[in-house]
Chain A
């Protein structure tokens, strides 16, 4: 198994700095959803990780901890994530994306 980034929605949706989306070296891996977070009553939307594209470099963790000082991203073994976003389940809208979360490990 290997580590992937996991964003804690409760912290991210309260701050919504979006820095991690700008610092990830992989394209379309950390995405932003207006609905995620707002549907739980938070002020903003939240960033989330398309785990099938994440290479586990943890650059976003450094950016979130040291530049944004939010500590909202942790590295987690992919089989310990209950549900996660996968590229196939992400739809792009006009100004935001929507993800249907699913189990990241098949079988």
Chain B
């Protein structure tokens, strides 16, 4: 949980694989890296067994770059495709039982605060739509009601992609899948509204066809979760296998879905706005300059 864990042990330097040496010497630890520098530094994510062209992988890759302090971050996940890639990164990963990721993260983030005090240690939950909205729903909602200070990211592929294509709470109404041949009969769950009702300080939707936006949203969510309260990001990460999207059309699909039902939305609580502005110098939440007095009718 510090820069010390990304160093070589004395005498072992020459025995380490090239990927590890590159990561220690040219990785993002202790530096500020951005999406625009991608391709020029060694990323914390390594080779992983996820399907070719998976949009979820792209999102995870961008998320790993967006973490403000990767050396002080722990990711928590649960069963689902995402864990296949998240676990292949040089960031400690905790893998709970199915659905208990927000419970595990609650304890973890409280424990880290006891152990390290004010020193920021970020806990980020990344789980699929099944882990967040179906099986882990109760723990997710309770962690939000308790205002636990960590970030929850839903990798929403709108299907149980890992087990053959069953419908999930986040599947769209009418969607026909391999294991839902009659089509889903219920609406997609409105997790965004639930997050707001449960008191999340930051709620956003994002699609990975805009890497800079993914970066900015994740940075804000992680920073707000340090002090203010729970934060929630819902990311559309299509399953090109279960929805039969040709791999070279994955970004086209992301664009279509973004225009259809995944428009970028961002909710920031007043407390979070104030925190980001005062603590981290964000300018976007400052009050807009007032219009000239003469333009306002009825004012002298």
Partner pick for B42 among A28, A57, A88, CB 8 A cutoff: A28
Q: Which of A4-63 contact B (CB under 8 A)?
A: 18, 21-28, 30-32, 47, 53, 55-59, 61-63
Given A59-B53, A92-B22: A21 in contact with B39 (beta carbons within 8 A): yes
Q: How far does the Cβ of B276 sit from chain A's closest Cβ, in whole Å?
A: 24
Task: Write out the residue numbers on chain B whose beta carbons fall within 8 Å of the beta carbon of A97.
Answer: 39-40
Given A57-B248, A59-B247, A59-B248: A25 in contact with B61 (beta carbons within 8 A): yes
With CB as the reference atom, state the residue of chain B lying closest to A48.
B39
Task: Write out the residue numbers on chain B whose beta carbons fall within 8 Å of the beta carbon of A59.
Answer: 53, 58, 247-248, 250-251
Given A57-B247, A57-B248: A25 in contact with B39 (beta carbons within 8 A): no
- The answer to whether A18 touches B250 (Cβ under 8 A) is no
Task: Write out the residue numbers on chain A whose beta carbons fall within 8 Å of the beta carbon of B43.
Answer: 27-28
- A99-B30 Cα distance, complex, nearest whole Å: 25
Partner pick for B55 among A25, A56, A62, A87, CB 8 A cutoff: A25
- The answer to whether B47 touches A92 (Cβ under 8 A) is no
Task: Write out the residue numbers on chain B whose beta carbons fall within 8 Å of the beta carbon of A32.
Answer: 39-40
Partner pick for A21 among B25, B38, B47, CB 8 A cutoff: B38
- The answer to whether A92 touches B248 (Cβ under 8 A) is no
Partner pick for A26 among B37, B57, B249, B251, CB 8 A cutoff: B57
Q: How far does the Cβ of A89 sit from chain B's closest Cβ, in whole Å?
A: 10
**Total residue contacts A-B, CB cutoff 8 A:** 84
Q: Does A95 sit at the interface, judged by CB under 8 A?
A: yes
Q: How far does the Cβ of B148 sit from chain A's closest Cβ, in whole Å?
A: 30
The interface size of chain B toward A, counting residues with CB under 8 Å, comes to 36
The interface size of chain A toward B, counting residues with CB under 8 Å, comes to 31
- The answer to whether B40 touches A31 (Cβ under 8 A) is yes
Q: Does B211 sit at the interface, judged by CB under 8 A?
A: yes
Interface string of B21-41 (1 = CB under 8 A from A): 010011000000001111111
Q: Does A96 sit at the interface, judged by CB under 8 A?
A: yes
- The answer to whether B249 touches A62 (Cβ under 8 A) is yes
- The answer to whether A57 touches B39 (Cβ under 8 A) is no
Q: Which of B143-166 contact A (CB under 8 A)?
A: none
- The answer to whether A53 touches B250 (Cβ under 8 A) is no
Partner pick for A25 among B25, B35, B54, CB 8 A cutoff: B54
Most buried by B among A21, A32, A53, A57: A57
Partner pick for A57 among B45, B53, B62, CB 8 A cutoff: B53
Question: Would you mind naming 6 contact pairs between A and B with Cβ atoms under 8 Å apart?
Answer: A21-B39, A22-B38, A25-B57, A31-B40, A57-B52, A57-B250
| Extra contacts besides A32-B39, A66-B252 (11): CB < 8 Å | A18-B38, A22-B35, A23-B58, A25-B55, A25-B57, A30-B39, A55-B53, A57-B250, A58-B247, A62-B250, A95-B37
Listed from nearest, the 4 A-B pairs whose CB atoms lie closest are: A57-B53, A21-B39, A92-B26, A55-B52
